[in-house]
A and B are shown apart, each in its own frame.
Chain A
Amino acid sequence: MTEFLFFIEVVVAGLLAGTMYSLVALGFVLIYKASSTFNFAQGAMVFFAVLAFVGFMELGLPFVVAFFVTILLMGLVGFCTERLVLKPLRTQSEDTLLMATIGLGFVLEGLAQATWGVEVRRLDLGIGDFPIQWIIDSTGLFISALDLTAGFVAAFLIIALALLFKYTKMGLGLRAVADDPGAASSIGIPLGNIMLLVWTAAGIVALVAGMMWGARAGVQFALVDLALKALPVLIIGGFSSIPGAIIGGLIIGATEKVLEVYVGPYFGGAIEGWAPYVMAILFLLWRPEGLFGEKIIRRV
């Protein structure tokens, strides 16, 4: 029984850690949906956003003010990206855009470090990264409060985004742009504004993801490497699906933890580093478009 309980615990911890991957993947999906751009810089945006947030806090701004100032800053980053990087490259191939966003990622990482330094900072959200007592008492499971919060925040963000897309005029415009940017702009949907909105939304998601990661592991450069794991998540979930990003994150998180605990010891441990990527490869062989992605049709 205790062994089964331990298994459940591993799975739950994995699922909740997976929501953190989902949060990074979510920002990626937003931008991909609206502009068919693989934004490789999403990981760098997570790092940039949370470092800026911590930086503003250190200046003495209260939590909420720092949060909104950072969101404004991410909007500005999105605006500059749209004007300076994406607009001139709109007619180029996907691979060119991808390479440009790799460059963008390096610019953001460098800017963040030049402005706020490289030392690891602690981020205290007032939520401890330790098991919650009443859950231990009632079920015997050790579940971290931070993991649980991340799960709730992810759920909240998804519902908010889904409502935004479904019921607002902006959301309708966004879906139109995602469908056919040319047609959308010809009927008067302001392409620039929509892009600005999407990048700001991706910036908010990046900030939230960064705060969750930062509270756990400290605000540091290693966040960028962690964010790379959002890529296998996207391959499993599909690049253009918000539920896909969440479910992909849960699958990766849970499988990674289970493999690490039950298979890892036979190979000397630390297989978490590559297991998600190998899972992504295996998944690609079966369903290249991901669980929820649109089928890729290529023509000569």
Chain B
Amino acid sequence: MNAKTVFMGYTRSDLANLVVALLVALVVIPTVVQTDYWYSSILIPWLCLSLAAIGQQIVMGYTGQLALGAAGFMAAGAFACFNLILRVPYLPFPVALALSGLIAAAFGILFGLPSLRVRGIYLMVATLASQFFIIWMIDKFGWFKNYDTSGIITAQDILIFGKPFTSPFEMYLVVVVVVTVLTILAINMTRGSTGRNWMAVRDMDIAAESMGISLLRTKLQAFAISAFFCGVAGALFAFTYLKSLEPVAFDIKLSFKILFMVILGGLGTINGAFIGAAFILLFPVVLNSIGNNLFHGAIDATIISATEQVVFGALIIIFMIYEPLGMAKLWYNIKQSVRSRFAPRSELPRQRAT
């Protein structure tokens, strides 16, 4: 935090990052990428899952609570959004999205309660309850699915003030805007007193408590905000990527994937969420295309998906041993080594406390 702030507490590099990110998202990508495949199969799910990973990051990376139920909160958000649009006439999509985030947050508070008593694997088991309970609840009570018996419900069109956003590119724009706003919000929170409290609780909860930080407030706040992010991400995921609503899409496997994104991406960093999501999402795509193009389908699809599992698992172990701070730290190291080659020594940025 030594860098000079130039605008409302942001440093010059913060603003530069934002401008570059927005330029890439809104100018470079729309001019370079013309095929729908990239929008609907890579960019949209990546951004949605990154948002969910930020949610997981808040509770796990910043507050140090080992939770494994992100997909449950995503399901809560997705079905909340479906029902809000279905039952409340003229509700603009952004409002429905925010409300479904809040509904997911309510679940987050409820299932975050055990974190006040337990930690580590105990908490993990408690949060597994949320995963299984929410999916079960949606599955068993027909009201949530509007008594649809086919099992797959088509998501409604996204309407923002009467204008439909239905093409992959239009949906991409919606996702970009939501993710940008929420990412800035998340960065602000992690840098402000909220985030400082989270990190104090993560580093040593008893010490934090004795310094006057309310564990009850801080932990429940982290769970609520985390679930809010997951809920919004789940709604976006269902409406822009899956285009349908089915509880199965939010099973425990997705929770594990989001957990892996956060661990591999780097615990306690926002950009780690994006890097991790990109890796977890893209690696299977790359592996599949290698299998198809290099070996012309000679390798069985089950072998490919099994290889994927082995690689993810092995990478987790390797990162835990050699770089517990994940890919975000690797990226930081690369940036540093490039910078130190070109910048005079006095201008080297000091490492920011994470």
Contact = CB atoms under 8 A, between A and B. Distances in A.
Interface stretch (B6-14, B149-157, B236-244, B306-314): B306-314
B316 A106 contact: yes
Contacts of B133: 274, 277-278
B320 A40 contact: no
A277 B66 CA distance: 16
Contacts of B136: 270-271, 273-274
B140 A269 contact: yes
B128 A92 contact: no
Contacts of A182: none
B310 A106 contact: yes
B317 A85 contact: yes
A235 interface: yes
B120 A38 contact: yes
Contact of B307 (A85, A110, A281): A110
Contacts of B313: 102-110
A85 B64 CA distance: 22
B140 A110 contact: no
A298 interface: yes
Interface string A249-284: 000000000000000000111110110011011001
B317 A100 contact: yes
A300 interface: yes
B275 to A, nearest CB: 17
Interface string B247-277: 0000010001001000100000000000000
Contact of A89 (B129, B302, B307, B320): B320
Contact of B125 (A95, A235, A298): A235
A239 B120 CA distance: 12
Nearest to B64: A95
A268 B308 contact: no
Contact of A99 (B125, B305, B310, B320): B320
Nearest to A38: B121
B208 to A, nearest CB: 10
Nearest to B251: A225
Nearest to B267: A99
A278 B126 CA distance: 7
Contacts of B139: 270
A94 interface: yes
Interface centre among A103, A113, A273 (most CB of B within 10 A): A103
B122 A288 contact: yes
A284 B320 contact: no
A274 to B, nearest CB: 4
B347 to A, nearest CB: 35
B293 interface: no
B145 to A, nearest CB: 12
Contacts of A64: none
Interface in A217-252: 225, 228, 231-232, 235, 239
Contacts of B317: 84-85, 100, 103-104, 107
A134 B189 CA distance: 68
Q: Is the interface of B mostly helix, strand, loop or mixed?
A: helix
A117 B301 CA distance: 10
B207 A231 contact: no
B131 to A, nearest CB: 8
Nearest to B134: A274
B324 interface: yes
Contact of B120 (A89, A98, A225): A98
Contacts of A102: 256, 259, 313, 316
B66 A285 contact: no
Contacts of A85: 317, 321
B117 A280 contact: no
A277 B129 contact: yes
Nearest to B300: A117
A252 B118 CA distance: 20
B353 to A, nearest CB: 19
B126 A110 contact: no
Interface in A46-79: none
Contacts of A274: 129, 132-133, 136
A66 B129 CA distance: 37
Nearest to B310: A110
A110 B120 contact: no
Interface in B95-135: 114, 117-118, 120-122, 124-126, 128-129, 132-133
Interface string A105-142: 11111110110011000000000000000000000000
B342 interface: no
Given A38-B121, A239-B121, A274-B132, 8 more contacts: A100-B316, A102-B259, A110-B309, A110-B310, A267-B140, A274-B129, A284-B117, A300-B204
Interface of A: 38, 40, 84-85, 88-89, 92, 94-96, 98-100, 102-111, 113-114, 117-118, 225, 228, 231-232, 235, 239, 267-271, 273-274, 277-278, 280-281, 284-285, 288, 298-300
Interface of B: 64, 66, 114, 117-118, 120-122, 124-126, 128-129, 132-133, 136, 139-141, 204, 206-207, 210, 252, 256, 259, 263, 302-303, 305-317, 320-321, 324
24 contacts: A38-B120, A85-B321, A89-B320, A100-B316, A102-B259, A103-B314, A105-B313, A106-B316, A107-B309, A107-B310, A113-B305, A114-B303, A232-B125, A235-B122, A239-B121, A267-B140, A270-B136, A271-B136, A274-B132, A277-B128, A281-B126, A281-B129, A298-B206, A299-B206
